[in-house]
Chains A and B, each alone.
Chain A
Amino acid sequence: MSGSQPLLRATAVTKTFPGTIALDKVDFTLHPGEVHALLGENGAGKSTLIKCLTGAYRRDGGDILLDGMPIDPRNTLEAQSFGIGTVYQEVNLLPNLSVAENLLLGHQPVRFGMISGRTMNAAARTMLAQYGLDIDVSRNLDNFSVAVQQVVAIARAVSLSGKVLILDEPTASLDAQEVQMLFEVVRSLKERQLGIVFISHFLDQVFEISDRITVLRNGRLVGAEATADVDRVRLVNMMLGRELKQETRESGRTDRPEGMPAIRFQGFGKSGRIAPFDLDIRAGEVVGVAGLLGSGRTETAEVLFGVTPHDSGKVEEKGATLPLGSPRDAIAGGFGFCPEDRKGDGIVGDLSVRENIVLALQARRGWTKPLPARAQAAMAEEFIRRLDIRTPDAEKPVGLLSGGNQQKVLLARWLATHPRFLILDEPTRGIDVGAHAEIIRLIEELCAQGMSLLVISSELDELVAYSHRVIVVRDRRHVAELVGEDITTDNMVAAIARPDAGRADEAAT
C-alpha cells in the first residue's frame, strides 16, 4: 500500500499560538484505501493538525499536498470542496432538521424555487442505502441514536468531499454493537479507496480498524508505523512513556505515611461514568491516577468532588459519613479541585487575580461575611510571592495571564481554603517548563505539610516522582493499584495497555 501515491501528504506542518507551539514540524501521510489512526493525549496536537488540514486554522508553516497538488484551505467549506470531509464526536449536524434535510442542506433538489420533499427524501434514502441504513429520512435527526447520526454525518461528508474522511472520536459515545456498525461503514469506504483518518482513545478499536498509526505528543511527531508492527505496550509508551531522558526517579516514593486512612471512599461510583471503587486517603499522601484520555480519570475526580454526584457507595471520615452531593458539600468537607479545563471550569477570566484567589474561601464563608479588603490584598500578595505568580499586580484580570500562572492562581484559590484533600486534574498540562517544575515542587511541599492529594496526569514520569500510590484507570474502572517501588513507568504502561481481560475490580483496594 505504501507503494502507491499518497492521497494526502503533510510535511513539516507548524502552528503556533501566543506562548505555545501547538504543532512543531509534524509530518503526516495518508494513502488511498487506508485507515490511519491518529493518537495522542489532550494537547498532543491531534486536533490542531486536523484543524490545519481542514482549514479551520491557517498553518504557520509546512506544506499540504492532496493528490500531489499543494492546497491551502481557508475554511472547512473550502477543504470540503477540495475533497476533505470531517465528522466530529459531537455530531456536527442539526438535530432539529430531518435526516434528509441534514444530508442535503444547501444542495436540496429545487423545482421552480420549491423543494420537493419527495425527491429530497428519495435522494436521501439512496445515499443512506450505500451504508446499509434503512430509516425514515423524513424524521428529525434527534430521533435517532448517536450511531445513526454518525453514519448520516459520514454520508454527508463523503457525498460532499469524497477523497479524505476525518473521523474525530466518532466512537466516544457508541456501544459495542454500534461501533461494529460504524466499522462496517468505515470498511466499505476503505474499499472505495477513500483515505480515512481515525482518531480515538480506545486502543482496542485502533488495533481493530486501523492500518497505520501516527502518534503525536506535545505538538511533535513521536512516530508513524504500520499497525501490525506495534504492540499495545509500545503504543502506550509512545503516547505516555518517558520522553526526556532526564535523571528522575526510577520508582515511586516508599515513604507512604503510616496510620489510619483519613478519608475512606467505599463502593463509590456513578453509573455510566465510573464504576464503583474503594479508595483510602491518608494524611500526607499523594495518590496518582494514571490512564489514557477517556479512561475514567477525570470522571473519578468529578465524582470525588461531587460535580457529578455519586449514586453508589459512601464516604467516611473517622467513622462519620460525609455528605458529598455537590461541590459545596465537598468544599465544606475540606476538599479542593483544580479541573482539567482551566479556562472553562477553573478561572473566572474577567475577575482579578486577587478575586480569583479568594473566590472559594469567600464562597465558603458566605456573602455576608466578606474578607476585609486588606486581608484579601495580603492573601493575594502572599500567594503571588509564595507560588511566584507572574503578574504586574493583584488587580490584573486573570484571563490575561499565561496558562502556567492561571494554574498557580487556581492552586492558590484552593490553598487559601486550607484543604485537607486536594484533587488536581492534569495540573501541568499546557504550561511552560519552569512553571511545570514549580508545580511539582509544590505538590511535594504540600504533602510534606500533611495535606492529602490526588493527582491525575498523563505525564507518567511526573506520577513516579511524587506518588506514594498510583491507581490505574481503564474503561471507566479502577483496574490496578501500584505502591512504592512498584510505581514505574513500565508497570503503569503495562497496566494501561493490558487488553480488556475481564473485570479487575478487586485490584483497587
Chain B
Amino acid sequence: MSAASRFLRRITPQLVTLAAVLASIAIVFPGFFEISIANGRLYGSAIDILNRGAPVALLAIGMTLVIATKGIDLSVGAVMAICGAVAASAVDRGMGLVPTLALAIGTGLACGLWNGILVAVLKIQPIVATLILMVAGRGIAQLITEGAILTFRHEGLIFIGSGTFLTVPMPVLIWLFTGVIVALVVRRTALGMLIEAIGINPRASMLAGVNTRVLLIAVYMASSLCAAIAGIIAAADIRGADANNAGLWLELDAILAVVIGGTSLLGGRFSIVASLIGAMIIQAVNTGILLSGFPPEFNLVIKAGIVLVILVLQSPTVQSAFIYFRRNKQSSPADAKTVVQ
C-alpha cells in the first residue's frame, strides 16, 4: 500500500462526512455551489464557508499538534484576543504593517512559551496549565485595548481580513497556506513522527533519546502561533480588536475539529489535513443551518449531536468491541488501526 493511498484512506471518513453535509445543504438550498465573481472577488456560499472557517481552521492546525502529544490547549481563544488587541493597538500607535505583525506574532509565541514551560518543565497537566492563560488572557487583552473595542483604519491590516488575492479572500489563502506549510514541515521533517512518539509513549521516547521537553514547548508555541494568526485575521475582519468576544469559545470548536478529524484525545497518530476538513465540516454545518432556513438556535444542538456520535465511535469500549468483531470476521487485526502517511 503506497503512502498516497494510505493518506487517502485516512481522510476518507472526514471527506465523506463533509460531502454528506454539503450535499444535504445543496438539497435544501439548490444555489449552494454557485460561485460568482464580482469586483475581483469570488462570492458564493462555498467560498463563505472557506472564509468564515478560517479562525477555527488555523486553531485546529496547532491544536492537532498539541493533542497528538496527549495535551490540550484551552488558551487559544484568549491568545487570539490578546494578539488581535496587540495588533490593533500597534497600528493605532502608527506602527507599520510588518512591525505590527511581528509584534502580534511575537506575543503569540511568548504565550506559547509560557504554556509550554508550564507543561514541559513544571509538568503541570496541560488542561490545568492552559486554563490559567484562558482565564487571565481575556483580562490581558482588555488591558491592552483598555476595555473598548479598539478600531483601526490601517488599510494594510484590513486587507488581511477582507482583501483578496487573485479573487480569493485573504483568510482562505492564509489558512490554506499555513496548513500546507505546517503539514509539510511536520511530515517532511521528522517532527511529526517524534510528536506522535511522545504522544503514544513518552517514557520510551525519552529513553530513545527524543528531546521531549523541547518538542513539547515547540508544540505549544506552534499552537499559539496559529492562534496569533487567527487573532490578527479576526481583528482585521471586523476592523477592530474586541477583547471580550474575539475567539470566544473557539478553542472548543478547534478541539472539536481535531476530534472530528480522527485524532484521538489520548494522543498519538494525527493528521492536519483531516483536522482542517473537520474545521470545514463544523463551518459547513453552521452555514448550512443558516442557509436552509433552520433557526440558528439549532446549531449548538447539532454540534452536541456530532460530539456525541464521535464520542461513541471513539470510546475505548466501543472500539474494542469493534476490533473484536473485525477480528472474528476476517481474523486479521492488521488494519484495526489506521496508519497515517
Direct contact of A and B (CB under 8 A): yes
- Residue ranges of A at the interface with B (Cβ–Cβ < 8 Å): 305, 307, 327-328, 331, 337, 339, 344-352, 355, 358-360, 362-371, 373, 392, 395-397, 400, 413
A395 to B191, CA, bound (A): 18
Tell me the minimal C-beta distance from B57 to chain A in angstroms. Answer: 24
Q: Which residue of B lies closest to A414 (CB)?
A: B208
Q: CA of A322 to CA of B117 in the docked complex: distance in angstroms?
A: 29
Q: Is the CB of B193 within 8 A of A351?
A: yes
Kindly report which residue of chain B lies nearest to residue A339, judged by CB atoms: B207
- Chain B: interface residue count, which band? 20 to 34
Our pick among B200, B210, B211, B334 for the contact of A350 (Cβ within 8 Å) is B200
| Cβ-defined contact, B196 with A392, below 8 A | no
Contact A359 B197, beta carbon cutoff 8 Å = yes
Contact with A along B12-45 (1 / 0, CB 8 A): 0000000000000000000000000000000000
> 8 tightest A-B contacts by CB?
A331-B209, A363-B209, A370-B190, A363-B210, A360-B208, A367-B190, A367-B191, A348-B201
Docked CA distance A327–B206 (Å): 7
The answer to whether B200 and A400 touch across the interface, beta carbons within 8 angstroms, is no
The 8 Å CB contact of A359, one of B208, B211, B333, is B208
**Closest A residue, CB atoms, query B264:** A350
- Report chain B residues within 8 Å CB of A369: 189-190
Q: Mark B206-219, 1 if CB is under 8 A from A, else 0.
A: 11111100010000
- Cβ-defined contact, A347 with B204, below 8 A: yes
B239 interface hit (Cβ, 8 Å)? no
Closest to B332 in A: A392
CB-nearest residue of chain B to A368 = B189
Min distance, Cβ B213 to any Cβ of chain A, angstroms: 10
Complex: how many Å from CA A62 to CA B177?
A: 65
Question: Are A346 and B196 within 8 A (Cβ)?
Answer: no
Q: Given A307-B207, A327-B209, A363-B209, are A351 and B197 also a contact pair (CB < 8 Å)?
A: yes
Query: What chain A residues lie within 8 Å of B196 (beta carbons)?
Result: 348, 350-351, 355
State the CA gap A400–B209 with chains docked (Å).
23
- 27 pairs, CB–CB < 8 Å, chain A vs chain B: A305-B207, A327-B209, A328-B209, A337-B207, A339-B207, A344-B201, A344-B203, A345-B204, A346-B207, A347-B201, A348-B201, A349-B200, A349-B201, A355-B193, A359-B197, A359-B208, A360-B208, A363-B208, A363-B209, A363-B210, A364-B209, A367-B189, A367-B194, A370-B190, A371-B190, A395-B339, A396-B334
Considering the complex, give the chain B residue whose CB is closest to the CB of A344.
B203
In angstroms, Cα B183 to Cα A101, docked, is 53
A370 touching B209, Cβ below 8 Å: no
Does B77 reach chain A (CB closer than 8 Å)?
no
Binding site for A on B (CB under 8 A): 1, 3, 6, 188-191, 193-194, 196-197, 200-201, 203-211, 215, 268-269, 333-334, 336-337, 339
Q: How many A-B residue pairs have CB under 8 A?
A: 89
**Are B193 and A359 neighbours in the complex by a CB distance under 8 Å?**
yes
Give chain B residues whose Cβ lies under 8 Å from the Cβ of A305.
207
Are B204 and A365 within 8 A (Cβ)? no
Our pick among B191, B205, B336 for the contact of A348 (Cβ within 8 Å) is B205
| Chain A: minimal CB distance from B192 (Å) | 9
Q: In angstroms, how far is the closest chain B Cβ from the Cβ of A503? A: 32
Closest beta carbon of chain A to B203's beta carbon, Å = 6
* Distance (whole angstroms) from the CB of A260 to the closest CB of chain B: 28
Known: A359-B193, A400-B334. 12 other contacts (CB 8 A): A305-B207, A344-B201, A347-B204, A348-B201, A351-B196, A351-B200, A358-B193, A359-B208, A362-B190, A367-B191, A369-B189, A413-B208
Q: Is the CB of A348 within 8 A of B269?
A: no
The docked-state distance in angstroms from the alpha carbon of A360 to that of B211 is 11
Q: Which has the most chain B C-beta neighbours within 10 Å: A360, A362, A400? A: A362
Residues in B whose Cβ lies below 8 Å from that of A352? 339
Is B204 within 8 A of A363, CB to CB? no
Chain B nearest CB, measured from A209 CB (Å): 35
Which of A347, A348, A366 counts the most chain B CB atoms within 10 A?
A348
**Minimum CB–CB distance for A342 against chain B, Å:** 9
Give chain A residues whose Cβ lies under 8 Å from the Cβ of B194: 362-363, 367
> CB < 8 Å: which of A346, A351, A370, A392 contacts B188?
A370
Q: Which residues of A contact B1 (CB under 8 A)?
A: 395
- The answer on a CB contact under 8 Å between B189 and A327 is no
Assess the B269–A350 pair: CB atoms within 8 A.
yes
Q: How far is the CA of A360 from the CA of B193 in the complex (A)?
A: 11
> In the complex, what's the smallest C-beta–C-beta distance from A412 to chain B, in angstroms?
12
Whole-angstrom distance between the alpha carbons of A366 and B214 in the complex?
11
